[in-house]
Structure 1
Amino acid sequence: MRIAVNARVLQKGRMEGVARYIYEVTRRMVANHPEHEFIFLFDRPFDPEFVFADNVTALEIGVPARLPILFKLWFEYSVHRALKKYKADVFFSGDAYLSLRSNIPSVMVSHDLAYIHYPDHLPGHHLRYYKKFFPLFHKRANHIIAVSEATKADIIEQFGISASKISIGHNASPKGFAPVVKSTKIEIRNQYSEGYPYFFYLGSLHPRKNIVKLIEAFSSYKATHNTEHHLVIVGRPAWNFHQIQKAYNFSPFKHEIHMYHDVKDEAKEMLASAISLIYISTFEGFGIPILEAFSSGVPVITSNTSSMPEVAGDAALVIDPNDTNEIVEAMHSIVSNESLREQLISKGFERTNDFDWDRTAEIVYDCLMKVAKV
């Protein structure tokens, strides 16, 4: 069987969120099912590391799909032609985009519908594209993988799609996240937080990640508590980053806030060296950094919205992401209560057992076989 894969987001150095999901799932499917041929479709020159085995044929087709008009051209023309030319039996799209012109059976992964709930967090041309095409993609797909129960419920409510058409295929924690020894923590703190213990954020610097509120809450915490703790923020700037920069410049404690945009592999050690991950997005389809912190032996403060309580279970402090006082109180609890920290760390390790990439890869594979009628 020929399984075509939308591989356009597999880009070295940009393996976050959606790209990580596609990488972890397709890598396992390729290894576990050598009897099938996989056709990876890229929209730009690709790194050979993404050609996982001999049963993968990698193709660069069309032009890089960097803007909505190019999304449409790439999926409706380049992908459509490639699916016909290479006689694909089924199409897997892990980023929720499909070719509406193609009649090839398809399985898509839906990560979130944030554009519906927070339309002001997107540039206008992206929002218009999502509003027009995402309902059509969900209805066109033969089967949908939702990354969380929260996302599944949202798809059903927003698009009126039957629950029987949607399976759950969770994210999991990537390899390499683990606790570090005390000497490493000291080294990392000396390098990134002037030697002080710190709260940590890891992820894109996007409006719905609530970084402005995080900076405001940290500043309030510093103003009301006698604490030496700093805040370290790691992530790539996204749309409207100037709002985050403005909040940083306005903070009277900005000399204790450290922002890094490119730390490569040291992000894992930075997370493991933190006193707590603060992940207080206003909306998430899943929230992988929560699991990364659990795997690293780091307590988590996260939001009570969308999928985050589902992922965190009882292993994190769950707060209202819009309530500065709640965020400050959670920070104080983490710093002042060693017993609480140890309890959260223990529960976090246990919680990671509920999420497994091998299991998710088999769920996706089974759905592909089902729609291909094998």
Structure 2
Amino acid sequence: MKIAINARLILPGKMGGEATYTYMLLQQIALLDQSNEYHLLFDRPWDSNLFNFLLSNTRFYFHVLPPQTRLAPFANYWFQVSVRNFLMKNKLDIFFSPEPYTTIALPVKRIITVHDLAFITFPETTYRINSYNARVMVKLAVQSADKIISVSHHTRDDLIKHYNLQSEKISVIHHGIKHVEPDRNELSEKNVEDIFSDARPYILYVGTIEPRKNLERLILAYGKLVVSGVTHRLVLAGRKGWKVRNVYHLVKEMNLDKHIVFTDFISDAAQSYLYQHADIFVYVPLYEGFGMPVSEAMSFGLPIVTSNVSSLPEVVGESALKVDPLNVDDIYNGLYLLLNDHRLRLTLGKAAKERSKQFSWKNSALEHLKLFEKVYYGD
């Protein structure tokens, strides 16, 4: 098979969940598949440092198709004109888009991945123009795709509910967990100073600083912990997203500047180091398609407080404390309970470590390869 893969999201220093998913799949596919031909499609010059593992692989080809797609209209043109022309000209068999956008009205078999439907369920947490564009383009994509990959059963159920799809069209394939060797040297001097200088233990959050992650309620709950006498620091590890002003203002308003650390973007090795040395992991978003940070924290055996909504109960099972993300007191009570119950922390940490073994990028890649064959050769 000749398979084209949308790789436009893989950018140095800017890889969110969808990009990480694409990148980890490519690493495994390169190891597992010795027969098919792959064409990676970018909208700008690709970073060779990110693709060292593919540069000597003769089955992988790199293509840059204009225009750059930062804005929605350009992204639409990229899919509907640039990608479509490339697929037709080069007679590709399958186009796999690891995001919920694809070309329309094309004889090439198409597979897309839908991570979540936040633009429908929580439109206030997404850019208005992006939300509007997604409503139009995702609807067209799910209707025209030959197969849809959903990263959780919860997202599959949302797809069926909002788009009236047949369940047979959707394959649920969970994410794996990336394992990166911890490296303290990957942290900036400022981060090391802010987090480790006084040997205070810390509660860790990993993820983008953005509305959907519910950080304002987390900070309010953490403020109550400080008032109650808890000495743990709160470390918020992740790059700045959008609408971050309210988050930083709240920290100052509550006089928590000396208690909360914002790391900004850090490498995977630095993240691993923070996971390795945290006491508790907290992740209480309003909505999540899968929740990679939670599964990563599980792999480090961390006791976890997470949301009792969307995909997160599916990911953690009984290995974490689940709280109502809309209830500040519930978040506070979950954190307070874990911080004050050593035996519970040990029990949940052990259970999380064991459950994390269910999530493997190798197994995920194998499921993707099976689906490629199924779509190409027919059921």
- Verify same fold: TM over 0.5: yes
Aligned pairs for 1:26-41 (under 5 A) are 26-41=26-41
Matched, 1:348 2:352: yes
* Corresponding position: 1:236 with 2:242: no
- Secondary structure at the aligned position of 2:175 is classed as coil
Matches within 5 A, 1:126-145: 126-145=130-149
**1:24 is aligned to 2:24:** yes
Give 4+ residue runs of structure 1 displaced > 4 Å after superposition: 188-191
Change (3 A) 1:2 1:92: same
Equivalent position SS for 2:87: helix
Question: Whole-Å Cα distance in 1 between the matches of residues 232 and 112 of structure 2?
Answer: 43
Could you tell me how far 1:107 is from its partner in structure 2?
0.9
- In the TM superposition, what is the alpha-carbon distance from 1:253 to its structure 2 partner? 2.3
Partner of 2:176: 172
1:184 aligned partner: none
| Structure 1 letter corresponding to 2:308 | N
Contact 2:302 2:353 in 1 (8 A): no
Any stretches of 5+ residues in structure 2 without a counterpart? 185-190
Range with bigger deviation, 9-18 or 194-203: 9-18
Per-residue CA shift, 1:130-162, capped at 9, x if unaligned? 111111111111001100000001100110110
Q: For residues 281 and 71 of structure 2, what CA distance do their matches in structure 1 show?
A: 33
The DSSP-based 3-state class of the residue aligned with 1:128 is: helix
Using the aligned pairs only, state the percent identity: 29
CA contact (8 A) 2:42 2:65 kept: yes
Match of 2:188 in 1: none
Matched, 1:249 2:252: yes
Contact 1:205 1:241 in 2 (8 A): yes
Contact 2:13 2:265 in 1 (8 A): no
SS in 2 for 1:82: helix
User: Hey, what's the Cα distance between the residues in 2 that align with 1:315 and 1:155?
Assistant: 27
Is 1:177–1:292's contact at 8 Å kept on the other side of the alignment?
Answer: no
3-state SS, counterpart of residue 233 of structure 1:
strand
Structure 1 residue runs without a partner (length 5+): 182-187
| 1:342 Cα offset (Å) | 0.5
2:362 equivalent among 353, 358, 361: 358
On the 8 A contact 2:205/2:235 being kept in 1, the answer is: yes
- Which residue of the partner structure matches residue 258 of structure 1? 261
**Would you say 1:286 and 2:287 are equivalent positions?**
no
Q: Which amino acid letter does the alignment assign opposite residue 230 of structure 2? A: T
Q: What do the CA deviations read for 1:96-133 (whole angstroms, capped 9, x no partner)? A: 21011422101111100011011111222111101111
TM value normalised by structure 1: 0.94
- Residues in 1 aligned to 2:41 and 2:347: alpha-carbon distance in whole angstroms: 45
Contact kept? 2:118, 2:126, Cα under 8 Å: no
Residue 271 in structure 1 maps to residue 291 in structure 2: no
Q: Normalised by the size of structure 2, how large is the TM-score?
A: 0.93
Structure 1 residue 215: Cα displacement: 0.8
Look up the equivalent residue of 2:81 and give its one-letter code: Y
For 2:163 and 2:128, locate their aligned partners in 1 and report how far apart those are by CA, in whole Å.
Answer: 21
Alpha-carbon distance between aligned partners in 2 of 1:144 and 1:177, rounded to the nearest angstrom: 33
**The 10-residue stretch of structure 1 (156-165 or 30-39) with the greater mean CA deviation from structure 2:** 30-39
Root-mean-square deviation (CA, aligned residues, Å) is 1.9
Instruction: Give 1:338's match in structure 2, choosing from 339, 342, 345.
Output: 342
Output the CA distance in 2 between the equivalents of 1:324 and 1:346.
27
CA contact (8 A) 2:305 2:320 kept: yes
Amino acid at match of 2:368: V
> Deviation string for 1:197-245 (max 9, x for gaps)?
111110011101001111111011211x222111110111112111212
Distance 1:191 1:125 in 2: 37
Aligned partner of 1:3 in structure 2 is 3
